[in-house]
Amino acid sequence: MGLGGLPFPALIATDLDGTLLRSDGTLSPRSVAALRRAQDRGIEVVVATARPPRWMHDLIEAVGDHGIAICSNGAYVYDVGRRRVLAERPIVADVVQGMVSALRQAIPGISFAVENAVGFGREPSYVDMHRSPPDSPVKDIADLLQPLPGKLLARAPELDAEEFLRIVTDVVGESAVVAFSGASGLAEISAAGVTKAAVLAEWAAERGVRAAQVWAFGDMPNDLAMLEWAGTSFGVANAHADVEAVVDHVVPSNDDDGVARTIELALG
């Protein structure tokens, strides 16, 4: 038996930023050791993150040499060690163009970028707050659709962040999924039906793993569906209030290695 009398999981799924990683973006030695112990016990470890594949290469310790990451909120299933996309669920061009047109009408000054299977591209007016490669194309969004994007990113700095997300969600409707992973003022848009939960559930089912056998860890609203699907859910102490409201257990914060501590307690 595992933590608090719970059976050991067959699969552990964890978010990265704000959950497994510390606030400075690092993966602690304690977390690496706990994940390795779980894998040595035959427990699958899957990272489920809003990060694109290109951001995973310096975090291979989170999944191991043959580890799998569900990236870009489900758009890509990525073999981190081999640097190979195993499956992708992009947004088709017509849907992207329709959303962009509708959002430009609703939010003057909005700008867009894309994450695709090979990298990142942005419009000239889009301010990337992260670490885009120096050779990233800078073009109108209509010229950034080959290859098709796994995620459409939108910003409108002049709007309140919560109001911006509300408007984007209303405009997009059922044509896509709008996620919030903690980056203020950023709307992350995926193809309809594409979430961490949906892709993780499919990946697990292909391996004969039921939801009841899964432990999931998260901290932000884009983790909610995954946490609600998993048999046992954990929110870190620094999690968004919406996460704390639905999880089965609240564990120590990301800076206190809450994921690692929980795994250690389970494994004894």
pLDDT in tens, 114-136: 999 989 999 999 988 766 777 89
In whole angstroms, give the CA distance from residue 104 to residue 88: 27
- From residue 181, give the alpha-carbon distance in Å to each of 37, 49, 123, 140, 223: 28, 9, 22, 25, 8
- From residue 194, give the alpha-carbon distance in Å to each of 71, 74, 179: 11, 6, 10
- Model confidence at 187, pLDDT cuts 50, 70, 90, reads very high
Q: Which of 25-34, 142-151, 175-184 has the lowest mean pLDDT?
A: 175-184
The continuous run of DSSP H or E covering 167 comes out as helix 161-172
Nearest Cα neighbor of 229 from 193, 259, 197 is 197
Structural domains in the chain, sorted by start: 3-88+195-267 (3.40.50.1000), 93-191 (3.30.1240.10)
Residue 188's contacts (CB-CB under 8 Å, 6 or more residues apart) are 50, 73, 151, 152, 153, 178, 179, 180, 181, 222
Average pLDDT in the 144-157 region?
95
Angle between helices 93-106 and 161-172 (to 10 degrees): 130
pLDDT in tens, 194-243: 999 999 999 999 999 999 999 999 999 999 999 999 999 999 999 999 99
Q: What integer pLDDT is reported at residue 1 of this predicted model?
A: 41
pLDDT, averaged across the chain: 92
